[in-house]
Amino acid sequence: MAPPVHSEITLTVNGEEHTLLVDHRTTLLDALRERLDLTGTKKGCDQGQCGACTVLLDGRRAVSCLQLAVAAEGRTVTTVEGLADGDRLHPVQQAFLDLDGFQCGYCTPGQICSAVAVIEEHAAGWPSAVTADVRPEAGPPELTAEEIRERMSGNLCRCGAHVQIVRSVARAAGAEEAAV
Partner 1 sequence: MTPATTTEHTAAGTAHRRVEGRDKVTGAARYAAEIPLAGLAHGWLVGSTVARGRVRSVETAPVLAMPGVLTVLHHGNTARVTTDYVTVLGTSPDPTAAVFQHDQVQHMGWPVALVVAETPEQAREGAEALVVHYDEEPHDTAFSGDRADAYPLDSMGQPAVTDKGETEAELAASAVVVDACYTTPENHHNAMEPHAATVRWDGGRLDVIDSNQSAAWIQSELANMFSLDPQSVRVRSEHVGGAFGGKGVRAHQVAAALAARALGRPVRVAMTRRQMFALIGYRSPTAQRIRLGADADGRLRALQHDSLNQTSTVHEHVEASAGVSRVGYDAAAHRTAQRVVRLDVPTPTWMRAPGEAPGSFALESAMDELAAECGIDPIELRMRNEPERGPVSGLPFGSRRLPDCFREGARRFGWADRDPRPGVRRDGRRLLGTGTAAASFLAMAMPATAAVTAEADGTFTVRIGAADVGTGARTALTLIAAEALRTAPDRVRMRIGDSDFGPAWGAAGSMGTRSWAWAITDAVAALRERLAGGAGIPPEGVTARSDTSGSVFGLAPRERRAYGAQFAEVAVDPGTGEVRVRRLLGIFAAGRIVNPLTARSQLTGGMIWGISMALHEEAVRDPVSGGHVGADLAGYHVAAHADIPAVEADWVDDPDPEDPVGIKGVGEIGVVGVAAAVANAVWHATGVRHRHLPLRPDRVLTAPPAA
* Contact string (CB under 8 A) for partner 1, positions 18-37, x = contact: -----x-xx---x--xx--x
User: Site for partner 1 (CB under 8 A): which residue of 54, 67, 78, 93?
Assistant: 93
For partner 1, which stretch binds (CB under 8 A), given 56-64, 134-142, 143-151, 170-178? 143-151
* Contact call for residues 179 and 162 (beta carbons, < 8 A): no
For partner 1, the binding residues in 151-170 under the rule CB under 8 A are: 152-166
Residue 54: C-alpha distances to residues 6, 85, 107, 175 (Å) = 25, 20, 9, 23
Beta bridge partners of 55: 62
**Residue 138 CB coordination number (10 Å):** 12
* Contact call for residues 99 and 171 (beta carbons, < 8 A): yes
Residues that bind partner 1 (CB under 8 A): 5, 23, 25-26, 30, 33-34, 37-47, 49-50, 52, 79-81, 83-84, 89, 93-94, 96-98, 100, 102-109, 112, 145, 148-150, 152-166
